[in-house]
Amino acid sequence: MDLNGLDYNSSLIWESPEGIAVQPFYNKNTTEKTLYLEGLPEVWHHCALIYMGDLKIVNPLIENRIKKGIESFYLVCDELFDPEEFCPNTSLQGIHLMFETDFLNGSWLEQCQQKLCARGARVYLNQDPLYLLAKNGNWPASSDKVFKSIYRLISQSKTANVLGINARLYCESGANMVQQLAYTIAQANEALEQLRNHGKLPDQMALTYTLGLGPNYFFEMAKLRALRALNQGLADLHGIKLTCRIIAMPAKRFMTVYDFNNNLLRSTSSMMSGILGGADFLCNLPYDEHYKKGHEFSQGLAQNQLFILEFESLKQIDASVCDGAYYVESISHSMAEKALALFKEIEGTGGWLKAIKKGTIQRKIKESHQKAEQALNDKKRVVVGVNQFQDDKQVMSKHIELYPFQKMKPRKTLVAPIVERRLTQNIESQRLNDEKTH
């Protein structure tokens, strides 16, 4: 009677951008299939992102955060640093150090791993030349030596924390969640296949996935759970044990320049999805990361968000929170199933590397971004402060310190790079232009 004659399917069932039909309620009868997940962490780790540069500046920053209780650091490196000079007066016992490098230097990475591990740190080299190819359009080194160097690192490593799959780019550029999962697993499979060209894979390996999370609370939980299931399938495919670790960050794609305080809500939602979805590491970003240079106030807020979540969750990850939660179980299974089908399609046409070289993945992601952008323009998708409930008196042009829009640098590349695009960039760009003309 409550429908008052309206059709049930068209009124109460909606379809996500991934093609998942979402029911108005779920119960045991509507959720027959669930995912069996292995390796869910019992605790999650608070993580801080650090852009590496002059160690005289970086070291006090890290030392201060360690004193505050931060135990994990995501180190973004675009140049070499001396590992012996890294926080020399601070104990690194039990500290997690995760690398993201914009280059490949096997001897330096080996040196970092040996010297930092000797001081008690847990080092994750996270080497992912396929990510650098997709991001920059070129290999980080001679293509025939890239995986040979990584295979050597894996063979010599005692911790097995060498290989990473940086999948943030898919989320940041506009791929829907099924695409994100399928491209991530296809990239991981490509990396393993490339390594096999240089010798037998170890019986046991670790893969560290770095993911961007949006504000779609339950779907982001499901995405993480689906990834663990797909990783297990990948391990079975290669006949090895493949430990899955997940680093989760809020995606800058969903951050806004206008009404920027809402970014705090978006990132809090993303990080809570990460906790309940089973991420190992949560790396929060400042609410103004995309348009302001780093400053203590916003960085402090980003840390405090995780401290609050740490307090509220007792730092525990109770797998039973989502196990048996019919809604999350259902969309997790649907997402994994659709991603697996897309993964098989990619493999059937030659694999991830061939798809990137042909531009297929780039084109599909761009199409998904354009659909999301059209939904935003039509107000079928609401972003508070941008296309609804705008504060027309807010002026931001004088506060922009970093270019917050899509960056295009024409250059000769081997493949077309996958370009990061914020969802609201066109609307905000126009509004900033209007500010300058008035």
**In angstroms, what CA-CA distances link 151 with 69, 164, 169, 182, 279?**
35, 13, 24, 24, 26
pLDDT at 212: 98
Pairing mode, strands 164-166 and 14-15: unpaired
pLDDT at 316: 64
DSSP assignment of 59-125 equals HHHHHHHHHTT--EEEEEESS---GGGSSTTS--TT-EEEEEESS--HHHHHHHHHHHHHTT-EEE-
State the sign of the Cα–Cα–Cα–Cα dihedral 297, 299, 305, 310: negative
Q: Which residues contact 283 (CB under 8 A, 6 or more apart)?
A: 47, 48, 49, 72, 74, 247, 248, 249
Average pLDDT of the chain to the nearest whole number: 91
**Quick check: 401 pLDDT over 60?**
yes
339-352 average pLDDT score: 98
Backbone angles phi, psi at 323, to 5 degrees: -60, 120
The CA distance from 192 to 83, in Å, is: 28
55-78 average pLDDT score: 95
131-136 average pLDDT score: 96
**Quick check: 1 pLDDT over 60?**
no
**Per mean pLDDT, which range of 176-190, 198-212, 306-320, 405-419 is the poorest?**
306-320
Task: Give the domain ranges of the chain.
Answer: 45-336
The CA distance from 247 to 212, in Å, is: 9
Contact call for residues 212 and 168 (beta carbons, < 8 A): yes
Contact call for residues 119 and 87 (beta carbons, < 8 A): no
**Quick check: 318 pLDDT over 60?**
no
CB atoms within 10 A of CB 232: 18
The CA distance from 299 to 141, in Å, is: 34
pLDDT per position as a tens digit, 164-176: 999 999 999 999 9
**Quick check: 319 pLDDT over 60?**
no
Q: Specify the fold of 45-336.
A: TIM Barrel (3.20.20)
258-273 average pLDDT score: 96
Pairing mode, strands 21-22 and 14-15: antiparallel
pLDDT at 24: 80
Q: Map residue 49 onto helix, strand or coil.
A: strand
Contact call for residues 143 and 132 (beta carbons, < 8 A): no
pLDDT per position as a tens digit, 89-115: 999 999 999 999 999 999 999 999 999
Backbone angles phi, psi at 165, to 5 degrees: -125, 100
**Quick check: 59 pLDDT over 90?**
yes
Beta strands in 214-283 (DSSP E): 241-250, 281-283
Pairing mode, strands 72-77 and 96-101: parallel
Share of residues in the chain with pLDDT > 90 (%): 78
Report CA Rg, the chain. 22
**Quick check: 246 pLDDT over 70?**
yes
Which residue in 134, 169, 190 sits closest to 357, CA to CA? Answer: 134
